[in-house]
Amino acid sequence: MSNRHARRQDVGLLLVVSSPSGAGKTTLARRLRDDFSGLGFSVSYTTRPPRTGEQDGVDYHFVTQETFDRMVGEGRFAEWAHVHGHSYGTAYEAIDQALKSGTDMLFDIDYQGGRQIKSRFPDAVMVFVLPPSVDELARRLRGRATDSKASIEKRLHGAVEELNHYDAYEYLVVNENLDRAYDELRAVYVASRCNWRLRAHFAEQLVTEARRQEP
């Protein structure tokens, strides 16, 4: 968060957002990043080809399967998974940066990745975005028109598997009305920033300061 108090903390918050493909997590996550300039985005590595308009190094690091496999072998990923026929992974660099510099970091990753991040970083905040219905999910996936027919069918099939894992998450945001869903995601982020683990450092400073000023 880019406010005065946030700068006093020394630990970055890891915010994991997952959902079945098409539920709206990219739309919601983008809005959150626009709202909070201090919230970093973890740019994943993927073997998926870029969609029209996607930029290398901004949306994803687009790599070959060979490069991806080498990175796996070198232990460069904090998590990685096969999703819809491609490999996706989060490099440790992004997380180290968040934890060391106190920058909050948003991860748009699937449930397999979410599970790995949570087991390595138990303080990660886990948000799962649900579509209002399976029919609406299908409508959104088809309406997005960024994927081939085969890819859309693969994603719809994968949605059932992804939905099954909602119970590994701490917060469930239902994305029926976009504004309302965004309010919920924003509220989770803002409240998580007030978690005592992140604020305890500041409170300790105040206690020390107050003791020093005691007559």
Tell me which of ligand 5GP, ligand ADP, none is bound by residue 81, counting a contact when its beta carbon lies within the kind-specific cut-off of 5 to 8 angstroms. Answer: ligand 5GP
From 87, 156, 158, 162, select the one nearest 129 (Cα to Cα).
162
Q: Which is nearer to ligand 5GP, 163 or 174 (CB)?
A: 163
Match 């949605």 to its residue by tokens. Answer: 159
Beta strands in the chain (DSSP E): 14-18, 39-41, 45-46, 61-62, 77-83, 86-91, 104-108, 125-130, 171-174
Residue 6 makes contact with ligand 5GP by CB under 6 A: no
**Phi/psi at 163 (nearest 5 deg)?**
-55, -35
Helical pair 134-144 and 149-163, crossing angle rounded to 10 deg: 150
Tell me which of ligand 5GP, ligand ADP, none is bound by residue 88, counting a contact when its beta carbon lies within the kind-specific cut-off of 5 to 8 angstroms. Answer: ligand 5GP
What distance in Å separates the CA atoms of residue 212 and residue 215, rounded to the nearest whole number?
Answer: 8
Tell me which of ligand ADP, ligand 5GP, none is bound by residue 144, counting a contact when its beta carbon lies within the kind-specific cut-off of 5 to 8 angstroms. Answer: ligand ADP
Q: How far is the CB of 59 from ligand 5GP (least distance, A)?
A: 8
Contact positions vs ligand ADP (CB under 6 A): 19, 21-27, 140, 143-144, 175, 178, 181
Interface residues for ligand 5GP in 64-103 (CB under 6 A)? Answer: 79, 81, 83-84, 88-90
**Phi/psi at 4 (nearest 5 deg)?**
-60, -45
Give the binding site for ligand 5GP (CB under 6 A). 21, 44, 48, 79, 81, 83-84, 88-90, 108-110, 112-113
